[in-house]
Amino acid sequence: MNNEKATPSISFEQPIIYILDTNILLHEPFAFLSFKEHDVVVPMTVLEELDSIKDRRKDVSRDARVAIRALEDTLSNASPEEVLAGVKLPENDEQHPSGCLSIINDYSLEQTANTLSFNENDNRIINAALHIQKKNPNKKIVLVTKDINMRLKAKGAGLAHVEDYRTDQLIDDVKFLTKGYHQFEGDFWQQVTACESETEGRQTTHIIDKATLPLTYINEYLIDETEHFAAKVTGFDDEKISMLDLSYERLMGKNAWGIHPKNIYQGMAMDALLDPNIELVILTGPAGCGKTLLALATALEQVIERGLYDKIIVTRSTPEIAESIGFLPGTEEEKMAPWLAAITDSLEVLHSQDENMNGSLNYIMDKANIQFKSVNFMRGRSIQNALVLLDECQNLTASQLKTIITRCGEGTKLICSGNLAQIDSNYLTAVTSGLTYIVERFKDFPGSATVNLNGVVRSRLASFAEENL
């Protein structure tokens, strides 16, 4: 498998022609504009598939319609001959020229590879790529698709170059993904050469040299191996870093709705969740590390006990990538109930010691004004003074997450949680997940904090499964 990314760099030595599969335009409707000076070909079969998808009552239909409109805007003034030959794409500037966009009628081509049946659309697209490869021996021909099986079939049919589309990929490997904290070896203070401290009330701020931690960002937590030091970065410039002294003991003493952190990672998460100045909290980590439980406990604490928010809105992607939930009976909340069982499970854990647990749950649901909502119906809303819990967001695309984040109005806090090892989408991987996207995009935003939870799982069985399956 060719491991190159479909993010071509400028090269005047070898022209490249990129053939796009349907899933590329569904993943990013304006993808055909991302190939710089290289040419882009869209097979007729791709247009047929987009046409069949655009009228479905699914979230993906919107992307199909956007892609069709974008292609039409580019080719609207071209003649049929120009569309087949290639229409110049818009240029960003003189230093970054663009290639051409063309449509190939793959229905009129003869079958190139006898092993591929024309009964499948994927095979027609592969055949179009093989035809272009044969007609252009001096050019590099690349089929771009997110379908792994199609990449394998194309290679087997004789196509020299097949790639995934990753121009929206911010990192190459999730091991480089921001964890939200930096852990120093040994004693932190033994590594500090100079420090200035300022105390205001109960809060102490330390100012240290930037050389101690050259790469950092706002709201990054700092801990060491002594289990005494803990701080949070509050500001920095080219020379200095200011950090709020939190202390290990104070983080471990956090409390919300009767829940205490089991380790320092949960302590950092609770600090971020309970901080009214942080508008976006992103929790990542393996199954059973407490993401949902901590989010719900701190939400109840802030809505009922502290009165900081008026309601709790709970939503998540459904197994069909936020597609229709209409086949289930009942209201929107009743339809969403099966997908939000993790929330009700956490509520039961929080009130398991109550004499009448069912009565307590009903009272809390009403008191905290907990609402279960579908991601489908988030578009166009303006959510004010609410605490929004977005669970399982590793299965959402960057576009879907953007839709939800931009719904958050004045006084609203958003908590995103997910496990990058449990992605159900056919077209998402750990590095292209919307969860990964917002972790990287928001790491420099002063109103956000990320915490990767480690070290705690719900049981010995879950721990073994996480490590060995």
Fold of 17-164: Rossmann fold (3.40.50)
- Does the domain made of 175-467 have the CATH classification 1.10.10.10? no
What are 176-230's pLDDT values in tens digits?
788 999 999 999 999 998 999 999 988 999 999 999 998 999 999 999 999 899 9
From residue 256, alpha-carbon distances to 293, 300, 314 in Å are: 11, 8, 18
User: Do the domains at 17-164 and 175-467 have one common CATH topology?
Assistant: yes
Between 323 and 109, name the one with better pLDDT.
109
Domain locations in the chain?
Answer: 17-164, 175-467
Point out which residues pair with 198 in neighbouring strands: 205
**242 token code pair:** 């200011």
User: How do residues 122-177 score in pLDDT, each as one tens digit?
Assistant: 999 999 999 999 999 989 999 999 888 999 999 999 999 999 887 655 555 567 78
CA 260 to chain centre: 28
Type of residue numbered 345:
D
Strand stretches in 46-166, DSSP E: 87-88, 100-104, 140-144, 161-163
Report CA torsion sign: 440, 220, 260, 355: negative
Whether residue 427 has pLDDT greater than 50: yes
Q: Averaged over 104-115, what is the pLDDT?
A: 74
Residues in the chain: 469
pLDDT over 70 percentage in the chain: 83
246 and 255 in contact (C-beta within 8 Å)? no
Query: What are the beta bridge partners of residue 418?
Result: 284
Mean pLDDT along residues 401-430? 86
Per-residue pLDDT tens over the stretch 353-363: 766 777 777 78
Q: Is the pLDDT of residue 340 over 60?
A: no
pLDDT, tens digit, 9 for 90 and up, residues 269-278: 999 999 999 9
